[in-house]
């Protein structure tokens, strides 16, 4: 037995935790490496260390062993984390499930952090991380459209370009107050990049409180309008856009005359508001089909239509 390895009875099964401890990595990393999960940025040196530890300890996950007996695992796991999508998320899941079914595979959708026990037991054919997918402008699933990566930056540019076409040059990017997550940071960065590409002044970030009290929302919108620094708001999502619209009425203001407002990732309620919310519709179904094909090792093909488009209503 190699040095550093503890004695083990032949009848005692080696666990994923044993491999993780031996390789000095997390159990999730072991699972990603041994299952060759796509989309994981794990250094090759770490991968080698994990494979060596697994081989030395004789580790075979139960799920993998079962898949080998039955054939290839026919489950693809979609990890949505804490992502709160609009219609695009529903479309992505439905289309991904349908595309996988065409190839005799099933889709398992999980929220939050995926437990290692699930990866060990299910042994999925592939794991698709939605958080990484939405932020990756260079990935195979995202692809390219109109000569640019068709990821989050593409949709943000769609949003700002519409406002620019309506004659707005002074634009604010409204984000949910207190949310310092990577998706908010990415949206702000993409907005800054899009403004530069469109020849606009830098966007003005503004925090919008989505809590129960309307006072802070009204204060934020009042400052924007009274200062005269912006004429339009590009919102992080439809919820934030509706919060901005709700803050206008108590101030005696109205969109788009006093402040144009455009949402993002079309939700279910924007069309019911007055004025009806102009927003960006993202083709979630297109991404779902592409994600399924990439997970199965198939060519997703080119985009033959735009991945996002503005739904023009009354607010902008």
pLDDT at 215 over 50: yes
pLDDT at 8 over 70: no
Return the CATH fold of 148-283.
Rossmann fold (3.40.50)
Q: 12 pLDDT exceeds 80?
A: no
CA-to-CA separations, 64 to 103, 108, 121, 233, 260, in angstroms, rounded: 20, 17, 8, 50, 54
pLDDT at 218 over 50: yes
How many residues are present in the chain?
A: 316
User: Residues of the chain with pLDDT > 90: what percent?
Assistant: 38
pLDDT tens digits for range 90-132: 889 999 999 999 888 889 888 877 777 777 777 788 888 887 7
Q: Are 227 and 196 in contact (CB under 8 A)?
A: no
Mean pLDDT, range 178-205, rounded to an integer = 90
Extents of the domains making up the chain: 16-61, 71-139+285-305, 148-283
Burial of 11 (0-12, 13-18, 19+ CB in 10 A): exposed
Distance CA 175, CA 172 (A): 10
Confidence band, pLDDT 50/70/90 cuts, at residue 5: very low
Mean pLDDT of 41-50: 88
Name which residue leads in pLDDT, 86 or 166.
166
Intrachain domains 71-139+285-305 and 148-283 with the same fold: yes
Planar angle of CA 42, 94, 80, nearest 5 degrees: 35
Give residue 3's pLDDT band: very low, low, confident or very high (50, 70, 90). very low
The CATH superfamily assigned to 71-139+285-305 is Response regulator (3.40.50.2300)
CATH code, residues 16-61: 1.10.260.40
Q: What is the pLDDT of residues 61-77, one digit of tens each?
A: 554 444 444 445 788 88
The yes-or-no verdict on residue 252 having pLDDT over 50 is yes
**What is the model's pTM?**
0.72
Q: Which of 111, 143, 108 is nearest to 125 (CA)?
A: 108
Exposed e or buried b per residue across 268-304, where buried means at least 16 C-beta atoms within 10 angstroms of its C-beta: eebeebebebbbbbbbbbbbbbbbbbbbbeeebeebe
């Amino acid at each position: 037995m190699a040095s550093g390895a503890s004695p083990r009875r032949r009848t005692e099964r080696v666990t994923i935790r044993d491999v993780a401890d031996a390789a000095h990595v997390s159990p999730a990393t072991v699972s990603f490496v041994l299952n060759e999960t796509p989309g994981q940025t794990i250094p090759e040196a770490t991968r080698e260390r994990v494979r060596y530890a697994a081989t030395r300890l004789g580790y075979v996950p139960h799920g993998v062993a079962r898949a080998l007996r039955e054939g290839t695992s026919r489950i693809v796991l979609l990890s949505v984390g804490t992502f709160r999508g609009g219609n695009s998320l529903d479309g992505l899941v439905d289309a991904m499930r349908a595309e996988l079914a065409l190839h005799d595979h099933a889709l398992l959708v999980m929220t939050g952090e995926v437990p290692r026990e699930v990866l060990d037991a299910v042994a999925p054919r592939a794991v698709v991380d939605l958080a990484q997918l939405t932020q990756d402008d260079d990935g195979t699933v995202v692809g390219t459209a109109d000569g640019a990566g068709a990821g989050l930056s593409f949709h943000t540019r769609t949003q700002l370009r519409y406002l620019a076409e309506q004659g707005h040059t002074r634009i604010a990017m409204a984000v949910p107050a207190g949310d310092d997550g990577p998706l908010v940071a990415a949206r702000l960065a993409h907005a800054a990049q899009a403004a530069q590409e469109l020849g606009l002044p830098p966007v003005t970030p503004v925090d919008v409180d989505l809590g129960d009290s309307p006072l802070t929302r009204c204060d934020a919108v009042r400052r924007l309008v009274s200062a005269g620094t912006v004429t339009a708001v590009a919102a992080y999502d439809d919820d934030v856009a509706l919060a901005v619209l709700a803050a206008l009425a108590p101030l005696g203001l109205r969109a788009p005359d006093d402040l144009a407002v455009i949402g993002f990732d079309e939700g279910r309620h924007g069309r019911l508001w007055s004025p009806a919310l102009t927003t960006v519709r993202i083709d979630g179904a297109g991404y779902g089909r592409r994600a399924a094909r990439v997970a199965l090792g198939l060519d997703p093909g080119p985009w033959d239509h735009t991945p996002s488009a503005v739904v023009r209503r009354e607010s902008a």
